[in-house]
Amino acid sequence: MTYDYTLYGADFSLYTGKARAYMRYKGLNWQEKKATLDVVRDKIIPNVGAAIIPVIESKDGQVVQDTTDIIDYLEARHPQGSVYPSTPKQHLVSLMLEFFGDEWLFLPAMHYRWNYLEEHKEFVLSAFGGMGLPNGSLENKISLGEKLCAPFRGFTKRMGVTEETRDGVESSYLATLDQLNSHFEKYDFLLGSRPCIGDFGLMAPLYAHLGRDPYPKALMQSRAPAVYRWVERMNNPKPLSGEFLLNDEIPETLIPILQTQCDEQLPDVLKVIKKSAVWLKENPAGNLPRFLGNQDFTVGGKSGRRWVSTYTQWMFQRPWSFYQSLQSKTRPEVDALLNEIGGKIFFNFKIEHSLVRKPGQLELVEEV
Ligand SMILES: N[C@@H](CCC(=O)N[C@@H](CS)C(=O)NCC(=O)O)C(=O)O
């Protein structure tokens, strides 16, 4: 059997969960293969310039990295059952929630995996080790897993989960989990009976880590069963089914989640944008480093320091550019929503140095 696409990833990988759910929903002719160390060495590093998953390869040999680019590449080839709503508020909200899932719920995802490791050590480490020793013994997988997971464990503190902030990370996550639970008691997906790009973004943290690692999975199942059922629906979708809500409706149940995003995540991304701008002014046409030092941030009422991850600007540019492209006719209703969630200043902020991705490297460059 020839497949149109191969997804190289891992069961325990946050972003693979996002791409996998999307490919299932689109009903594509595809297969998934483990991104073993050989695949990383022979296929991923030569094409992408870094050891990162997931990637997809098309049957004509095109390799695409980054779940957002993977989804957009596939959307262009398979437009039926688009995951992008066509109406303005829903389109904006779906892009915002993709960003929230991909980049902000990443904090509790890493926290609950690595700071509760004793609760699920064998499960997590043997999975990591299995990427190098697919047929190895459990003991050998765990011992290799210890080594392979070291950089990921290190990310947890660098992204801001420290002794100072861990209570804030937990309280913010639990509040969001409760709010999502109220939402999914009423709706199958974020915006109706069809998953949107925001559902796929949320699936990244809410499956492989928070809905699959034993400790946070049990927490989700007991505290937010409707969220757990959504995770199951996302993993077993009826391809191309469902519709977005009529009349560009944004369910009331999403408002508190969007407010948290505006309170916590968007101030952080504005600081990143300012730092990137300084760097790009000083280094015209340079490859913007993935990280530019550290900055203050607040989560769940606790303040700490976290990395300045330049990629977050690129992700924020998606909803931001969409908002900027709106005609004056449609702006008032979108502005009313942004006022309600406290988002207006962020979308009216002027981004002077827009970032784009460049094939073969993770470092972003300024759009010319
Ligand atoms: N934004 C990327 C993130 C991919 C990513 O961070 N993948 C993790 C595993 S789930 C990884 O391989 N990280 C290695 C790194 O960041 O250097 C995407 O959407 O695909």
Is the domain of 183 the same as that of 138? yes
User: To test the ligand 1 pocket, which listed residue (52, 309, 313) has its Cβ within 8 A of the most ligand atoms?
Assistant: 52
Q: Could you tell me the distance, in angstroms and rounded to a whole number, from the CA of residue 96 to the centre of ligand 1?
A: 19
Is the domain of 128 the same as that of 104? yes
User: For residue range 16-64, what is the model confidence (pLDDT) as tens digits?
Assistant: 999 999 999 999 999 999 999 999 999 999 999 999 999 999 999 999 9
Domain C-terminal end among 218, 248, 278: 248
CATH number of 60's domain? 3.40.30.10
Domain C-terminal end among 221, 248, 275: 248
Is the domain of 215 the same as that of 323? no
Is the domain of 195 the same as that of 258? no
Q: Token pair of 203, please?
A: 């699936």
Q: Could you tell me the distance, in angstroms and rounded to a whole number, from the CA of residue 343 to the centre of ligand 1?
A: 27
Is the domain of 174 the same as that of 37? no
CB-CB contact of 73 with 64 (8 Å): yes
Is the domain of 57 the same as that of 178? no
- Atom 2 (ligand 1) nearest CA: 66
| Cis peptide bond N-terminal to 151, omega within 30 | no
Is the domain of 163 the same as that of 198? yes
CB-CB contact of 277 with 353 (8 Å): yes
Task: List the beta bridge partners of residue 9.
Answer: 34
- The span from the CA of 43 to the CA of 210, in Å, is 29
- The span from the CA of 161 to the CA of 176, in Å, is 17
CATH number of 158's domain? 1.20.1050.10
Is the domain of 121 the same as that of 218? yes
- Atom 17 (ligand 1) nearest CA: 52
- The span from the CA of 79 to the CA of 300, in Å, is 39
Q: CA nearest 73: which of 6, 65, 32?
A: 65
Into how many domains does the chain fold?
Answer: 3
Is the domain of 209 the same as that of 294? no
Give one DSSP letter per residue of 132-162, joined into a string. T-TT--HHHHHHHHHHHTHHHHHHHHHTT-S
- The span from the CA of 288 to the CA of 279, in Å, is 8
Instruction: Output the pLDDT for position 131.
Output: 94
Domain C-terminal end among 192, 217, 248: 248
Asked whether residue 82 is domain-assigned, the answer is no
User: For residue range 74-122, what is the model confidence (pLDDT) as tens digits?
Assistant: 999 999 999 999 999 999 999 999 999 999 999 999 999 999 999 999 9
Q: Would you say the C-alpha torsion 248, 251, 256, 257 has a positive or negative sign?
A: negative
Asked whether residue 83 is domain-assigned, the answer is no
Is the domain of 194 the same as that of 98? yes
CA 208 to ligand 1: nearest atom: 10
| Alpha carbon distance, N-terminus to C-terminus of the chain | 43
Asked whether residue 167 is domain-assigned, the answer is yes
Instruction: Output the pLDDT for position 1.
Output: 76
Q: Token pair of 287, please?
A: 């490859």
Is the domain of 106 the same as that of 64? no
pTM of this prediction? 0.98
Is the domain of 100 the same as that of 178? yes
Question: Domain containing 334: what range?
Answer: 253-366
Half-sphere exposure of 55 (CA within 13 A, CB side): 26
The segments of the chain whose pLDDT lies below 70 read none
Asked whether residue 334 is domain-assigned, the answer is yes
Asked whether residue 324 is domain-assigned, the answer is yes
